[in-house]
Amino acid sequence: MPNGVQQRLGPVEAPPPVMDLVTFYSQNLAVPARRDIDDRKVLAGKKQFYEMGCISCHTPKFVTLRGTPNKAQAFQLIWPYSDFLLHDMGPGLADGQAVGDATGSEWRTPPLWGIGLTGTVNGNMFFLHDGRARTLAEAILWHGGEGQKARDRFAAADAANRDALVKFLESL
């Protein structure tokens, strides 16, 4: 396989200080700014996001600790739309593989910040842990287990509300 080894840096891809620099860069890279935040449809979709119960796992915001070693990251209001916790998402999403603390049907809530730019950044629209969903609506419809109720509310909503919810996700 091709690799990133550069002769002048030695036999590994990221020797010191490259590893530290890349880590620092990744840790401090900002998430993309939101778009269309005042759009009426986006605001209507935001309301749906709260009302359908998405926020019980996709927790909108947190304030980071005051005492983080990296001052730039201390006491910041952040909007990841995730509780960063494991949830049993039902048999439809299960792969039957226990990994670390996660059973074969548990997945960590992925942050949704930046999700509206997936196509731009990744050049594809593959959602969920194995990339099986090709649209945001498909990703929602795969939710089962602890996410079943919210999924059913989405499925039962009228087209305008489903559309607005997707518009909201696209603004993140």
Shortest distance, position 170 Cβ to ligand HEC, whole Å:
10
φ, ψ for residue 151, nearest 5 deg? -60, -45
d(CA 172, CA 164): 13
Taking the complex as a whole, the smallest distance from the CB of residue 27 to ligand HEC amounts, in Å, to 20
Cβ at position 112, least distance to ligand HEC in Å? 6
Positions that interact with ligand HEC (CB under 6 A) = 49, 52-54, 56-58, 87, 89, 93, 107, 109-110, 115, 127-129, 136, 139-140, 143, 146-147, 150, 154, 165, 169
For residues 119 and 131, what is the distance between their CA atoms, to the nearest angstrom? 13
Q: CA-based angle 132:134:136, to the nearest 5?
A: 110
Min dist CB 93 to ligand HEC, Å, is 4
Token digits of residue 1: 């396989």
Extract the tokens encoding 97. Answer: 């593989």
Residue nearer to ligand HEC on the CB measure, 70 or 148: 148
Q: Which is nearer to ligand HEC, 58 or 167 (CB)?
A: 58
Nearer to ligand HEC, 37 or 65 (CB): 37
What tokens does 126 get?
């593959």
